[in-house]
Chains A and B, each alone.
Chain A
Amino acid sequence: MTTLLSRTIQADGLATRILEAGRGEGPAVVLLHGGLPGLVPYAGGSHLWGALPEALARARRVIAIDSPGSGGTPAGDGPLTLEVLARHACAAIAAAVDGPVHLVGHDTGGLVGAMVALEKPALLASLTIVASAAAAPSGDGVDNLTFFAAPSPATTRQAQFWAFDRMSYAHHHIDDALLDAAVAAAESEAHQAMLRRMADPAAAAALATSVLRAKFGVFRAAREAAFPVPTQIIAAAEDPLVSRDHMLWLFRIIAQHQPATQFHLINRSGSFPFREQPEPFLQVLTAFQDGLIAEVA
């Protein structure tokens, strides 16, 4: 049984909570969770990964980072944007690990991961973008009603369940561990501060606008030159937040010039394929990472 250890590191001026466990010969795996703090109706943080860190830690070193404004990491004083999240991620990875890592980003964390790849490619052995509406092209899509008519207040156990249920193919993965952690995160000072801050329309707009700016930066970079690191896209077949077609387009964008690009579609899963289908998720995730190492050897 692997135990995750929590510790605090300094990254980009923020006392940053990370979870870590395991060791192995290959590069460490670093996990960047999803959620836009204060803008999505659930409280984000490393607890969203569920049992994935422990499963990975059986054969490798794993580090899960709480991003600014989520879990146990405060947002700092300045305006929160994707650029801030990416700068923090670069600093946290460099502070936590020696040598290039396999970076795995879910949802917003996937877009942040792509920004890290562009800004500090030497930090990464590979990038995996999981179920990421933030990173995928939006293509003048229709309104997404997944979070329509969210219950209020958003910080209760019932409200957290509602949000996870809306994002899922089936609700069975929403266990007490997830709800306990989500409620604790929702009540934390970092999350409460984000809720107060995002009540200001200008702050919310700044964060939302930065998502578009960041994704367009990734699209441009991938169009003009090879995306700098091997990348796989893992999509969930029934993700209510982003369709399989949108995720395949993200693959097409990266695949324009990056030879080592893979796409994987996990069946019968909503926005959390690593929770709803943990075994196939672990299989495709580690096969790509291990295959890259075998390719170099």
Chain B
Amino acid sequence: MDSMTAGHGKSLDPCPLPPRQFIDIGGIRTAYHEAGEGPETLVFIYGGNFGGADSASSAYAWNMQVAPLAKRFRVVVPDKIGQGFTDPPLRDEDYTMAAVIAHIRDFIVALKLPPVHIVGHSRGGFASARLAMERPDLIRSLTIVTSGTLSPGVGTNEVVLARPPHPPFTRESARWVYENYCFRKEVVTEAWMDVVMETLNNPDYRRGVDKIVGEGLGASLFLPNLARYKRETLTWIDEGRLQRPTQVIWGFNDQTALVERGIELFERIAKHERRTTFNVFNQAGHFVYREHPERFNALLAGFVDLHSAR
């Protein structure tokens, strides 16, 4: 029983993902969704990280991209390690961004995907950019959507979302978080919250929460490791290692990653990579692709066409 099935008290989903599939990636049972045919292949990497108790990301974040873009491209959406319906890390020391990126890398290799157009949101934007520099042979183009994690300067995620006024693991908490992320609060649908609650109630996901929150690995390992990793990643960008066409897409009203963060990121990438654009959507918060799916999809499809293998 999964989120694709309507009924049993769930909201009818007007835009369901294709059925969830599983593949073993280095001992990690990895969930993913796939639709459409290549040769051009899009891989979507959502945001957040393992162990979130107030809200929970999963592949469903991209449900408004998969069907429309699968008409023209092969679309693959994995659940990251310890998120959605993919197993958490096997070892404590793997509760790091490095392990998340290694898992995405191994997933792309295991599926034998051609060099992909990777689309990363928020923390997923960081992972995608890093992968484009570690393994450029796997990446044809890079799309970064509102990523305070990757951009230099002060991210305001923690300011906007600190300590929700509802208990963890509740629908109220998740709804509060996503409504504060979004400018168009009506996009926080019951169907989306159904999947968030399904994720939060998944015992495998809860094992990650126990590690990150319960055992404190979030503060003692994940965040300090990410900080060091970010310093190195920005240095790599300044060195000119990011050599793939890159579009940076931002929500003008994202209070967790202001538009100035996006411009700073564009400037650092554009200095070394001619094929860089910066794109801002009005009346969009952190979830541009859910808040304006038609125009987001048109922009993304045009970018993929422009940088296809041909």
Contacts and interface: CB of A to CB of B under 8 A. Distances in A.
A287 interface: yes
A261 B277 contact: no
- Looking at A248, A264, A291, which has the most chain B CB atoms within 10 Å of its CB? A291
A24 interface: no
Contact of B278 (A254, A264, A287, A294): A264
Interface of B: 252, 259, 263, 266, 270, 273-283, 292, 294-299, 301-303, 305-306
Given A280-B275, A280-B306, A283-B306, A259 B266 contact: no
Contacts of A283: 299, 302-303, 305-306
Interface in A149-171: none
Interface residues of A, number: 29
A284 B279 contact: yes
Contacts of A292: 294-295
Given A286-B302, A287-B302, A267 B276 contact: yes
A287 B273 CA distance: 22
Given A259-B282, A283-B303, A287-B301, A264 B295 contact: no
Given A291-B295, A292-B295, A263 B279 contact: yes
A158 B280 CA distance: 39
Contacts of A261: 252, 282-283
A214 B292 CA distance: 31
Contacts of A138: none
B252 A291 contact: no
B279 A291 contact: no
A268 B279 CA distance: 15
Contact of B294 (A279, A280, A284, A294): A294
Contacts of B282: 251, 254-255, 258-262
A265 interface: yes
Given A251-B280, A284-B277, A291 B306 contact: no
Nearest to B298: A291
A284 B299 CA distance: 6
8 contacts: A251-B280, A267-B276, A287-B301, A291-B294, A292-B294, A292-B295, A295-B294, A295-B295
A225 B288 CA distance: 24
A264 B279 contact: yes
B24 to A, nearest CB: 38
Interface string A222-237: 0000000000000001
Given A283-B306, A287-B299, A291-B299, A266 B277 contact: yes
B305 A267 contact: no
B244 to A, nearest CB: 14
A200 B283 CA distance: 46
Contacts, number: 87
Contacts of A251: 252, 280, 282
Contacts of A244: 263
Contacts of B259: 248
A266 B296 CA distance: 17
Interface of A: 237, 244, 248, 251, 254-255, 258-268, 279-280, 283-284, 286-288, 290-292, 294-295
Contacts of A294: 294-295, 297-298
A227 B211 CA distance: 51
Contacts of A287: 295, 298-299, 301-303
A37 B303 CA distance: 36
A290 B301 CA distance: 11
A245 to B, nearest CB: 9
A265 B278 contact: yes
Nearest to A259: B283
Nearest to B259: A248
B280 to A, nearest CB: 4
B294 to A, nearest CB: 4
A195 to B, nearest CB: 38
A67 B299 CA distance: 31
Contacts of B274: 267-268
B252 A255 contact: yes
A263 B305 CA distance: 20
A259 B184 CA distance: 11
Contacts of B295: 260, 262, 287-288, 291-292, 294-295
B298 A267 contact: no
A290 B299 CA distance: 9
B277 A267 contact: yes
A137 B297 CA distance: 31
A266 B246 CA distance: 11
Contacts of B252: 251, 255, 261, 263
B298 A262 contact: no
- Looking at B273, B295, B296, B297, which has the most chain A CB atoms within 10 Å of its CB? B295
A265 B298 contact: no
B279 A262 contact: yes
Contact of B281 (A237, A248, A262): A262
Nearest to A263: B280
Closest 4 pairs between A and B when the two form their complex, measured CB to CB: A291-B295, A291-B298, A261-B282, A263-B280
